[in-house]
Structure 1
Amino acid sequence: MAMRDEVQSFKKERILEVAARLFYERGYRGTSLDAIAERLSVTKPFIYQHYRNKSALLVEIYLRVVHRSVDCVSRSRRTSGSPTARIRRFADEYTRLVIAEQRTTAIFFREENNIPDEYKDEINALKGRFDNELSALIQEGADSGEFHIADVRMATLAIVGMISWIYTWYRPHGRLSETGLADRMVMFTERIVGVLPADAAEAGRP
């Protein structure tokens, strides 16, 4: 990347970072472009050089969150290993993603009504792809006999809701470390899809 492009990219990232922080603290409607410019110590025209308006910032945040979520489940589904190993990988990576993107995840859930109509179909399609990819992974486990579950779709919604909701209560210096929390989410995910303990699985084999 040329130095000019690197500088432009850095400026856009800084604007987006500050906008996300203010949207998280004050809400989308409670944040003006003037406030973003003030926090950055720049003028409003500086922001207009990179984003045409405030809603463009919100859309960019939304698209990044949903693309990273889709990438997470797609990697897990397509990696090598059993369905159990892959659902564990998904639960671990998705938990860490929600923790790393706690502010933007909060914005994603809080500000849906403020997304411009022309972007809603694209975003909804990506959200549907995320759910479908996870459902497909769970179905693979059910078909192979590794998962013991009656309702794949309900399991999908339960897992996504459980892990996504971390954004509301996670604290960096809380009782559980990031790794400890990820391990718990993996364990709860296994229970939702009905992964048998190793000793029970062995006992059930002919």
Structure 2
Amino acid sequence: MSLDDRRAEIITSAAELFDRMGYSNTTMDDIGRTVGIAKPTLYHYFSGKDQILASIHEEFIDLLLEKNERRQQAGLAPEQRLLEVMVDIMELMETHRGHVRVFFEHHRELPEADQPAMRDKRDRYEAAVAHAIKQGTADGTFRDTDPRLAALALFGMCNWAYQWYQASGPLRPREIAYQFWDIFVRGIAAHPRGQTAG
């Protein structure tokens, strides 16, 4: 196994352990046993648990940034980009569940040296979603609203779904994302604003 492959295996195993046992309760010994390597060997790949934590964060946000960048380059319409943002988050809850919990719950435990770069990437992603909303407002797709506040509302719908999402549930991640998108874009009012039944 190459160095990069082994590091990836350690990151994935650690994310799953952090999800199941909690970050503070998981030790380097636990990670080493799960991966099947001795603790001293584990330190050959990572200087400590906090460096593994930083790598999980980076891997997760880089996945989101790369997916969003490809869609921007493809010229997808703003409403389609927002849908795919929601799909990304929901699908990662199934394919990278440990990463999701770690990213949303343990960013405060990141090493101080890693926090500025991670904050920059988070801000870039938030700005990209807000920009899609702003573009949709400009072309008449969305009504005029605060783009950043709307982006935060979108994240609020999706980011904590891992607390209740079950892979054995009746809906797949993309199906949940489609319903979230419909609620976010169209609202839940039965009639257009200013109209009443009758």
TM-score band, normalised by the shorter chain?
0.7 to 0.9
AA aligned opposite 1:48: Y
- Relative to the length of structure 1, the TM-score reads 0.83
Aligned match of 1:49: 44
Could you tell me how far apart the structure 1 residues matched to 2:82 and 2:36 are? Answer: 45
The alpha carbon displacement at 1:91 in A equals 2.6
How many residues matched? 190
Distance 1:111 1:82, change over 3 A: closer
Moved over 6 A (4+): none
Structure 2 residues not aligned, in runs of 5+: 193-198
Paired letter, 1:25 = R
Q: 1:25 aligns with which of 20, 39, 43?
A: 20
1:114 aligned partner, one-letter code: E
Equivalent residue, structure 2, for 1:165: 160
Aligned twin of 1:134: 129
> Which of 95, 98, 105 does residue 103 from structure 1 map onto?
98
CA contact (8 A) 2:16 2:97 kept: no
Q: Does residue 39 of structure 1 match 2:39? A: no
Separation of aligned partners in 2, 1:71 and 1:32: 31
Q: CA deviation at 1:32?
A: 0.9
Distance 1:165 1:76, change over 3 A: farther
Identify if the C-alpha distance between structure 1 residues 77 and 36 changes in structure 2 by more than 3 Å, giving closer, same or farther.
Answer: same
| Offset, 1:110 | 1.5
Tell me whether 44-53 or 172-181 shows the greater mean CA deviation: 172-181
Q: How far has the Cα of 1:118 moved from its partner? A: 0.6
CA distance in 2, matches of 1:189, 1:156: 10
User: Is residue 113 of structure 1 aligned with residue 108 of structure 2?
Assistant: yes
**RMSD value over aligned CA atoms?**
2.2
Runs of 5+ consecutive residues of structure 1 not aligned to the other structure: 1-5, 195-199, 201-206
After superposition, give the CA deviation of every residue in 1:158-186 in whole Å (9 maximum; x if it has no partner).
10121111211111111212332132123
1:49 maps to a residue whose letter is H
Tell me what 1:155 maps to.
150
Aligned-residue offset at 1:87:
2.5
Is the aligned partner of 1:61 residue 2:68?
Answer: no
Cross-structure match for 2:169: 174
SS at match of 1:49: helix
Query: Which residue type is aligned with residue 122 of structure 1?
Result: A
